[in-house]
Amino acid sequence: MKAVIQRVTQGSVTVAREQIATIQNGFVILLGIGKEDTPIIAETMAKKIAQLRIFSDQQGKMNLSVLDTGGSAIVVSQFTLYADTRKGNRPSFVNSAPPEIAKPLVNTFIALLKAQGVPTQSGQFGADMQVSILNDGPVTIVLEY
């Protein structure tokens, strides 16, 4: 499982010109599911992200989590995080989980992040989405399990 976590002051997801998710202050999480991923990995990742201290405290140090700040999250499924470009110029996605595995794991991850106390919205699995990210900092963290 791979996640690109962007600390944002604003984020949204639009599908077919309809906004389906919007947040202020929190994370936009681009989530890739690999063929070997499991619900246990999703749980580990959700706990880590909920407790990740990348928000500034009163002294300006990254010392607060999204839980500490009352922030929220948008999770966007993104199989392209598993692109393999070592051969040729056209990416291979053989390491991405197929939709019948990936979709339930994305939903599990979202439920687990909510269970950690993070208000969480999502994109639409498999849809052509327009993702708006106003990165704060910029702060971008990549996690992989």
Q: What is the CATH number of the domain that holds 35?
A: 3.50.80.10
Which structure tokens are listed for 134?
């106003």
Q: Give the C-alpha distances (Å, rounded to integers) separating 129 from 12, 14, 48.
A: 10, 6, 26
* Percent of the chain whose pLDDT exceeds 70: 100
In whole angstroms, what is the distance from residue 125 CA to residue 122 CA? 9
> pLDDT-derived band of residue 140, with 50, 70 and 90 as boundaries?
very high
How do the residues of the chain divide into helix, strand and coil, expressed in percent and rounded to 5?
25, 45, 30
Tens of pLDDT, residue by residue over 50-107, are 999 999 999 999 999 999 999 999 999 999 999 999 999 999 999 999 999 999 999 9
pLDDT for the residue numbered 119 = 98
Q: How much is the pTM?
A: 0.96
In whole angstroms, what is the distance from residue 10 CA to residue 23 CA? 6
Residues with a known catalytic role: 78-80
Q: Give the C-alpha distances (Å, rounded to integers) separating 67 from 54, 71, 100, 134.
A: 11, 6, 31, 20
Count Cα atoms within 13 angstroms, Cβ side, for 90.
Answer: 1
In whole angstroms, what is the distance from residue 52 CA to residue 123 CA? 22
Instruction: Give how many domains the chain has, as a whole number.
Output: 1
Mean pLDDT, the chain, whole residue set: 97
Q: Kindly compute the dihedral angle of the four CA atoms of residues 65, 56, 31, 115, in this order, to the nearest 10 degrees.
A: 20
pLDDT for the residue numbered 16 = 97
> pLDDT-derived band of residue 41, with 50, 70 and 90 as boundaries?
very high
What residue numbers bound the domain in which 91 lies? 2-144
